[in-house]
Structure 1
Amino acid sequence: MDLIQVTPAVWQLSLPVGHVHLARLPDGYALIDTGVPGSAPAILEAVDRLGGRPQDVLQIVLTHFHGDHVGSAADLVAATGARVLAGALDAPFISGTAPGPEPVLTASERALYEQVMAGFAEAGVPPAKPVPVDVELSDGEVLDGWAEPVRVLHVPGHTPGSIALHLTSSGVLFPGDTVATAEGRAILGPFNVDREQAVASFRRLAALETEVVCVPHGEPLTQDAGAVLRSATPETDWV
């Protein structure tokens, strides 16, 4: 388990598939995403390493419904009693009341997608358990319980209800899978339900004032993050 401090109040926990982020609240912690099913013990160990207890996890913010983000949410709710927050349009997919849409793959994405799915099957990763969404979030809302204003942005394209979180005082951005990084560059995350919409969402995030970008896949952007986002070419990058 690789737990690194990204900012004075944010840590990145690297898991076999992607990252989970932990944010310190005035009276506890928030989790941004939860990894694939089976990740709960590692996440709770990370909370313990930071001096917290399971009941100190107060919020679980899910950026979208994909299994590598919501996979351990149900187990973590059972262990912590935390509230689950997610974008309103993805809430039915997270709670299990409707099936989530499949991505529309480009030709070059297809091989990677099949490789990822085969890896999950070989590892015996089960489907994510449904979990009720306590708070359905909409664009422009401000989260309560944080030490600074946290603005919710509806960034559709990767999924219909994808959200990003922008900590407006410190300039920290949690973009979900709209943004990934590779070799110090910001790139469009793959496997989108609507690529054109995802590019527009990427451009919206690039226009924000950001100091740090905490991506679920890739390394965080901790220097000149805003400039890196603005110089990206999501229309042609990644695949």
Structure 2
Amino acid sequence: MDVVTLEPRLHMLAFPVGHAYLWVGEDGLTLIDTGEVGKAPAVADAIAGLGFRTGDVRRVLLTHFHDDHVGSAAAIAGWGDVLVYAHSTETPIIRGLEPGPPPVLRDWERPLFEQLPPRVLPGPVRVDRELTDGDTIDLGGVDAVAVHVPGHTPGSVAYYLPEPRVLFTGDTVARLPDGTVILGVFNVDHDRAVDSLRRQAALDVGIACFGHGAPLTGDASAQLRRTAATAHL
């Protein structure tokens, strides 16, 4: 796993499958997503490498229920006084009370989906705060706004930090190796996913952090708007 500093308070933890992000606040650390099952030791190493302790983690913000995002959340939630946040639509899934819906694949997505490696399903994760659209979370001197962005999953949530102009999209938006920004794939509802992309493109964003693909830095809004303009229902 590589650790990439995007700005002094923001670090990307780049896993082979999916990314997590670490925000450094005045009161400690916030993780946005946690990687697959078994990645907690790698997250702990990254935190130590940045000069912090696992006990400095105050919050885990989950973007959606997929295993490459919540896989290590239960382990990290046990590090100390950690609050876990997720959208209310998906808390029953994340808590292990009901299954999550599968994607509705487009024809061109099927070969890609069939090539995915087998996944290790996460166990139940404690959720301390159930979010709804517009809820505000204090990250230690900086507010994050929960933006409900359904489509990839029913309760996908992006986290928008207006003051530093940072957006965490989860898997609702992605970036290819060649740098192209695209609508996220493997969605449960394509039309809602397009609407959610357009909603995020309307925000004032300097840095856009994706669950898959390298972040956009600088004027991320311009690229998000271009992608939204070419997305079709």
Q: Could you say whether these structures have the same fold, taking a TM-score greater than 0.5 normalized by the shorter chain as the test? A: yes
- The residue that corresponds to 1:144 in the other structure is 138
Partner residue, 1:63: 63
Equivalent residue, structure 1, for 2:34? 34
Partner deviation per Cα, 1:158-214 (whole Å, 9 max, x = no partner) = 111100011101110001111101222221110111010000000000000000101
- In the other structure, the counterpart of 2:93 is 93
Question: TM-score, normalising length from structure 2?
Answer: 0.95
Question: Once superposed, which parts of structure 1, at least 4 consecutive aligned residues long, lie more than 4 Å away?
Answer: none
Q: What is the CA-CA distance between 1:78 and the residue it aligns to?
A: 1.9
Looking at structure 2, the residues matched to 177 and 193 of structure 1 have their Cα atoms a distance apart, in angstroms, of 12
1:102-181 to structure 2, matched below 5 A, reads 102-116=102-116, 119-120=117-118, 125-181=119-175
C-alpha separation in 2, matches of 1:221 and 1:12: 12
- Deviation per CA, 1:34-73: give whole Å up to 9, x if none: 1110111100111111111111111000000001100111
Structure 1 counterpart of 2:16: 16
Q: Identity rate of aligned residues, in percent?
A: 48
User: Alignment partner for residue 228 of structure 1, among 211, 223, 228?
Assistant: 223
Once the two structures are overlaid, the 10-residue window that deviates more, 178-187 or 150-159, is: 178-187
**Amino acid corresponding to residue 84 of structure 2 in structure 1:** V
TM-score with structure 1 length normalisation? 0.93
Give the distance between the partners of 1:129 and 1:197, measured in 2 at CA: 28
The offset of 1:110, in angstroms, is: 1.0
Q: What is the count of residue pairs matched by the alignment?
A: 230
Counterpart residue number, 1:47: 47
RMSD: 1.2
Unaligned 5+ segments in structure 2 are none
Return the offset for 1:22. 0.5
Question: C-alpha separation between the residues in 2 aligned to 1:65 and 1:142?
Answer: 20
Could you tell me which residue of structure 2 aligns to residue 186 of structure 1?
181
